A and B are shown apart, each in its own frame.
Chain A
Amino acid sequence: MKILVIEDEKMLCETIISYLEGEGYRCEQAGTVEMGTEKVNLYEYDCMLVDIGLPDGNGLTLVRELKKCHPETGIIIISAKNSLDDKVLGLDLGADDYLTKPFHLSELNSRIKSLLRRRKFDGQKEIIVDKIRILPENRQVFVQDELLPITKKEFDLLLFFISNPGRVLTKESIAEHLWGDFADASDSFDFVYSHIKNLRRKLFDKTGTEYFRNVYGTGYVFE
């Protein structure tokens, strides 16, 4: 899978690439609209991450450009401006998702995965992890062909973990993934804990395997 990261902030770009390469993607980077346009026209990518505020122009022009030559490429806009207009415009132009800086890398990764799933496999792909089989489109989880009764939030949580296997997911990033703006409502970490506890118990009951590992009280890893 090839991903083009268009971000003028070098260090941020490096970090994103380093995280994504850890996930097994091949990444290329561009820092300006000009470089981006060149790459978009020359090569084919599975996904493009594009910052809106670039030194020589607006990242949205790249979205237009890409839609012209490679409409099948997934597009995620990353922007420092939490502006509804940009978001609406970006999505109207054909972008698939919109993330506001600063974001959690795990969140970005999970969005990319979900995007690629939808784009590449028409959303019908099953995700199989060990004894767990997930149908993302139907929002169903099977353990050894048996449907696991699972709540909406537990499903989101499981998918988030499965998108970031072996990674430490901090309580903050989990809360934000589940509740967005409401993540800072106090006790949301207790909610994260309680959701994970439930999910852990349900999976353990069916599979006999402990998938979640607590990391020094700061987060969890799915293994």
Chain B
Amino acid sequence: MKLQNKINIRFLLVTLLVFTVAGVIFYFALDRVIDHNIKGILKSRKTNIILYLQHNKTDSILLGSPDRTIFIRQIAKTEDHSFISDTLAYDEREKELIPFRKMVFSTSVDNNYFEVTILQSLLESEDLQGIIFYFMAILFSLIFLALFFLNRWLSDKAWRPFFKSLSLLKSWKISENRQISFDQTGISEFDQLNRTLEEMIQKMQTDFVNLKEFTENASHEIQTPLAIIKSKLELLLNDNELSGLQHKQLHDAFESVIRMSKLNEALLLLSKIENRQFIEKCDIDFCMLIHSRLEYLEELFALKQIEISVQLNVPVIISIHPMLADILINNLLNNTLKHNFNHGKIIISSGINEITFSNTGKPLTIDPSKLFRRFVKNNNSEESTGLGLAIADEICRANHLRLNYTYLNDLHSFILSC
């Protein structure tokens, strides 16, 4: 949920609660005021009637008012009583039952006893209450809506610098080596945040460049001494005066140097791909490429007696640096060969925008999600550098391709898709 909405909802909920409570209190207050008012009216009418009774002869007293709100009845002496109650009465004008407040009291004038009933219509006060209620409701809704939009507008405005910074951050990639600069917002919190972000990004960028340069320089510098060691060992291996044991030991060293230089080469390649040093791209027909590589490898497959089935009928054209295309296909094909059984099977097939490399082989001993990580080897195979798939994955990532692994029906499959 957006922060803005969250704040807005809370704010409006509180407003609604306040309005409701205020409304209820207002209603009761109004009720009390009206009640008081009606009581006042009734009391003054009572006083008037008493005065009227006292000033008129008993015989000439009208026993009811023309508007049928006062009824006077002569009674035998009873105790004084006076009460007020609510009642419904039929109203001629409104042609319906309407609520009345009724006051009944007894009074005596010259030993004549009267019971007087005064009816006071509540219709007007109810109407008044109704009007006030509707008015209040409309007012409250208007205030509510106004608050809602005001709040939205305000928070929109207040958060705008934040969203601007956020979108800048989202579009920023460390590998692009692009400086990022935030505008002055005039809001101290956001300015503080932006300053901190700028500093952090600068630091990250410097670290990243340093690390990148270090990896590249280190690999590059190591290459020359390795070449020297390798060639010196090769010269030594040709020395006829060596004993068998010496020869064996030299060869072990030679093997290790080769391994090391392969590893180094692979790391160097990885850092080059990561640094996006292969920018130039051209459209490459991967099916053709695979065919030509397969021809080259024919004997390797034949010696392992691997059955190859190639179904590359759908052409797959990918825009990529030619060297990376070569390496990618080499690594994937190499993988199908390296981890295969003798008398195994390899199936290479293409579909729309995807190529699948499947091969038989021992099930993985490692977690498939770690397959593309560096130096992860299945069965700890000695010859493997553990970088082949990492390189393939990195190439795919740099070229917006996807490389997925599945294991189905005893077949390891790598699906390259774009």
Residues of A bordering B, CB below 8 Å: 9, 11-12, 15-16, 18-19, 22, 80-82, 84, 101-106, 151, 153, 167-168, 170, 172-173, 179, 181-182, 184-188, 190-191, 194-195, 215-219
- In the assembled complex, the Cα of A36 lies from the Cα of B377 at a distance in Å of 46
B27-35, B109-117, B131-139, B220-228 - the one binding chain A: B220-228
- Asked if B304 is an interface residue, CB under 8 A from chain A, the answer is yes
Q: A84-B322, A185-B334, A190-B303 are in contact. List 4 more A-B contacts (CB 8 A).
A: A18-B235, A104-B234, A181-B327, A216-B251
B232 touching A187 by the CB < 8 A rule? no
A12 touching B228 by the CB < 8 A rule? yes
- In the assembled complex, the Cα of A82 lies from the Cα of B216 at a distance in Å of 13
A25 to chain B, nearest CB (A): 15
- Asked if B45 is an interface residue, CB under 8 A from chain A, the answer is no
A-B pairs with beta carbons under 8 A, tally: 109
Smallest Cβ-Cβ distance to A179: which chain B residue: B300
Smallest Cβ-Cβ distance to A84: which chain B residue: B323
- Asked if B281 is an interface residue, CB under 8 A from chain A, the answer is no
- In the assembled complex, the Cα of A84 lies from the Cα of B281 at a distance in Å of 12
CB-contacts of B237-263 with A (<8 A): 237-238, 244, 247-248, 251, 254-255, 257-258, 261-262
With A82-B269, A191-B300, A217-B248: A168-B224 Cβ-Cβ less than 8 Å: no
Q: Which of B227, B269, B303 contacts A103 (CB 8 A)?
A: B227
Total interface residues on B, using CB and 8 Å?
45
- In the assembled complex, the Cα of A106 lies from the Cα of B330 at a distance in Å of 24
- In the assembled complex, the Cα of A84 lies from the Cα of B238 at a distance in Å of 33
CB-contacts of B297-336 with A (<8 A): 297, 299-300, 303-304, 321-323, 327, 330, 333-334
B269 touching A218 by the CB < 8 A rule? no
B338 touching A186 by the CB < 8 A rule? yes
Those 6 A-B pairs whose CB atoms lie nearest each other, nearest first: A102-B227, A218-B251, A15-B231, A84-B323, A101-B227, A216-B247
Smallest Cβ-Cβ distance to B324: which chain A residue: A84
Q: Which of B248, B258, B269 has the most CB of A within 10 A?
A: B258
- In the assembled complex, the Cα of A80 lies from the Cα of B334 at a distance in Å of 24
- In the assembled complex, the Cα of A151 lies from the Cα of B299 at a distance in Å of 10
Q: Which of A9, A82, A215 contacts B228 (CB 8 A)?
A: A9
A19 touching B330 by the CB < 8 A rule? no
B381 touching A186 by the CB < 8 A rule? yes
- Encode B261-277 as 1/0 by CB contact (under 8 A) with A: 11001001100000000
Smallest Cβ-Cβ distance to A217: which chain B residue: B248
Smallest Cβ-Cβ distance to B264: which chain A residue: A102
B228 touching A184 by the CB < 8 A rule? no
- In the assembled complex, the Cα of A77 lies from the Cα of B121 at a distance in Å of 115
Q: Which of B247, B261, B333, B381 has the most CB of A within 10 A?
A: B247
Q: Which of B238, B265, B268, B303 has the most CB of A within 10 A?
A: B238
Q: Which of B226, B235, B303, B330 contacts A194 (CB 8 A)?
A: B303
With A82-B265, A184-B385: A16-B231 Cβ-Cβ less than 8 Å: yes
B294 to chain A, nearest CB (A): 11
A144 to chain B, nearest CB (A): 28
- Asked if B96 is an interface residue, CB under 8 A from chain A, the answer is no
B168 to chain A, nearest CB (A): 34
B228 touching A187 by the CB < 8 A rule? no
A180 to chain B, nearest CB (A): 8
- Asked if B176 is an interface residue, CB under 8 A from chain A, the answer is no
Q: Which of A19, A218, A219 has the most CB of B within 10 A?
A: A218
Q: Which of B235, B269, B303, B384 contacts A191 (CB 8 A)?
A: B303
Smallest Cβ-Cβ distance to A218: which chain B residue: B251
- In the assembled complex, the Cα of A190 lies from the Cα of B305 at a distance in Å of 13
Contacts of B261 in A (CB 8 A): 102
Q: Which of B234, B334, B384 has the most CB of A within 10 A?
A: B234
With A104-B234, A184-B385, A216-B244: A172-B303 Cβ-Cβ less than 8 Å: no
A106 touching B323 by the CB < 8 A rule? no
Smallest Cβ-Cβ distance to B388: which chain A residue: A184
A106 touching B234 by the CB < 8 A rule? yes
With A186-B381, A191-B299: A15-B237 Cβ-Cβ less than 8 Å: no
A173 to chain B, nearest CB (A): 8
